[in-house]
Structure formats: C-alpha cells, structure tokens
Amino acid sequence: MYHTAKWKIIRVMAGEKDKLHIRLHIYDTDMPVVIDRHEEFTYREAAKDINEAVNAYSEVFKGKKSDKEILYMALIDIAYNYEVEKSRNDTKPVNDILSTITDEIEEALDIKKR
C-alpha cells in the first residue's frame, strides 16, 4: 500500500494530465487528493470505510481514549482487514500446484509418446 501511494505521488509530481482534484472528508478533516478520474469512486468508498471505522471506535472509546488512539485503532482494524483479504486473494500457491501438476502431466504424456 505504501508503495502504491508513493508511486501516485511521483506521478502527480511528474505532472500527468487527466487528474481529478477532490476533497475527502476523513474524521474531522477535509483532505485534498489528486487522483486518476477513474479511481474517484474507490477513493470515496475508502474514505467512507475509514469514517465508519473511526465512528465505531469513537462510540465505544470517546472520552476514554485520545482521538489519536481512536484513529490508530481504526487504522489497525482497516489494515488487518486488508491483510486478510490480500491473503484470501493470493493465488500463487494454487498456481504453483497447477504448474507442478501440468509439468508432471506433460512429462507423462511425453514418455508415452516415445
């Protein structure tokens, strides 16, 4: 995720055209963001997810924890969910097994042809 954000910053600084300047309301702050036009919906949904997480933690911990701690709790929750989804979508182990099976089948067929 960090690398993606870093890459986007470099692209914006390089002056790529067809960018959209939007403001995302996150918690109590309006954040100006420069994005590709086709990414607007995803950014707005991400802001909505952040606000929902922060609001959920605020309801439970407001007055008991600092705003900073509440933001960190929401950040950890979002990052955890991201990691869970990322591991669910990891197809490398399946692709490795399929590749091994394919190699074995091709080798077996090649031996029969001789």
For residue range 60-105, list pLDDT tens digits in order.
999 999 999 999 999 999 999 999 988 887 788 888 899 999 988 9
- Around Cβ 103, how many Cβ atoms within 10 Å? 10
On average, the pLDDT of the chain sits at: 85
Domain coordinates in residue numbering, the chain: 2-113
**Choice between 12 and 112, residue whose per-residue pLDDT is larger:** 112
E strands along 1-114, which residues? 19-26, 29-36
Query: Is residue 111 classed exposed, middle or buried when 0-12, 13-18 and 19+ CB atoms within 10 A define those classes?
Result: exposed
